[in-house]
Amino acid sequence: MIGLAPPPAAPAGPEIPLASLAAPLLDTKARYVIMSSSKPYRPEKIFLSHEAESCPGTRLVLERLPDVPVTRIDDPDPLVRPPAPPAETLTAGKKSLLLVRHHGRFFKPCPGRQARQGTTNVCCGYYVINFATNCPLECTYCFLQGYLTNPYVTVFANLDDLLADVQTALRELDNRPLRVGTGELTDSLALDHLIDYARPLVELFARQSHAVLELKTKTDAIDHLLGLDHRGRTVLAWSLNAPEIQQREELKTASLGARLRAARRAVDAGYPVAFHFDPLVWFAGWREAYAGVIEQLFDSVPPSATAWISLGALRVPPGQPEIMRRRFPKSPLPYGEFVTAPDGKLRYFKPLRIELYGAVLSELRRRAPEVKVYLCMERPDVHPHLNGIPAYRDEVLGEWLARDLPVLQPASRQDLPPSGRSQSAG
């Protein structure tokens, strides 16, 4: 375990020429073979905003999708606010890719602490980089269905501006350890076969002395990142769920087994890894199912390589259950018993959430007692009911999570389990 000291051979001063990071992206002849067990996203149509015509991300997408029809538009605003009901609009909208130029900040504090009626959730001090909105994957419970007004898979094509904004933000926040992720409004890697945004970010964070990048995904498309000089400053992370939930509710995603095999490949390449049991779902047999996932997880990945694990119970915005019923009529999730929590979200009753957290936490502590575990977007009064969950608030929790990261050196991997142990995960 090491702290957030400057990485070996890092240049003095983290200012990095943007051209050096984006060069392969700007060269549209550069090819990155991204292997995935799930079918990569391929839109039926591309909408191209006039402002994004000359952006580096646009040139790359058009080179990689030469036979997809392109419609050029002057103003995307009328396009992203169609009058159809949200369910029908979103289902159709995901078949199209919208390329725009983003104005404003890409780097922002995570909104997880925000709530209404004067209440707040415990926040882990996370920051987010928004490079796209909407997700090509189809999780029935995804909060974006009830949150976004734009139904299209939308990419901010001005990568050069994104990199500049991230560098500026990291300079402004250089007084404490930071955890930064890209998975708030889309999957971190589900679009990377088209836009290649992850690689320049990994290379940027490799040169930081106080910040780490988390790429969170439900895919196994990580092989294009394995050869990078990441210096332990990027954490590759996966959302995990019971096989019953993954197969029924997480459509177009990699299987549990494929995710765990990808995590093992990441560990072999020296990356720290992280896992997010979110959302935890209450269903018949949930206790045994989640215990089985944890067994498979640590049969595949050693605790010493795991930076952190988060837990979060199923929660959705008001009005989303009706959207879920229309889009995914076979899913039982929108028919669950929810209450309106003080933060305005629909949640399980607090005693049920505590029971879910307690059972999963107990299994995690049995297999990996030293791994840091925290709750995501949960009320402060839930934490005291769970032994082993820190009651830190806000930035203090974030600093605790970022303080020590396992950077595996080739000579220190004796505790890795055999590679084939995860093959039965499904």
Q: What is the percent of the chain with per-residue pLDDT over 90, rounded to a whole number?
A: 69
Region 302-328: what's the mean pLDDT?
95
pLDDT confidence of residue 400 = 85
User: pLDDT tier at 121 (50, 70, 90 boundaries)?
Assistant: confident
Rounded (10°) CA dihedral 217, 271, 264, 292: -60
User: What Å distances lie between residue 321 and 38, 85, 144, 243, 331, CA to CA?
Assistant: 27, 14, 12, 22, 10
Domain ranges for the chain: 2-404
pLDDT confidence of residue 118 = 56
Cα(292)–Cα(286) distance, integer angstroms: 10
Enter the tokens of residue 391.
Answer: 């009651």
pLDDT confidence of residue 1 = 35
pLDDT confidence of residue 67 = 97
pLDDT at 13 over 70: no
Whole-number mean pLDDT of the chain?
A: 86
pLDDT confidence of residue 291 = 98
Nearest to 294 by CA among 303, 281, 304: 303
DSSP calls for 90-102 = HHHHTTEEEEE--
Q: What is the pLDDT of residues 154-211, one digit of tens each?
A: 999 999 999 999 999 999 998 788 999 999 999 999 999 999 999 999 999 999 989 9
Q: What is the pLDDT of residues 344-366, one digit of tens each?
A: 899 999 999 999 999 999 999 99
pLDDT confidence of residue 9 = 40
- Reported as type and span, the H/E element at residue 310 is strand 306-313
pLDDT confidence of residue 47 = 97
Cα(340)–Cα(249) distance, integer angstroms: 22
Which segments of 2-111 does DSSP mark as H helices, in order?
Answer: 18-26, 56-64, 77-80, 86-93
Output DSSP code: residue 406. Answer: -
Of residues 229 and 149, which shows the higher confidence score? 229
User: pLDDT tier at 152 (50, 70, 90 boundaries)?
Assistant: very high
pLDDT confidence of residue 390 = 79
Architecture of domain 2-404: Alpha-Beta Horseshoe (3.80)
pLDDT confidence of residue 360 = 98
CB atoms within 10 A of CB 422: 23
pLDDT at 116 over 70: no
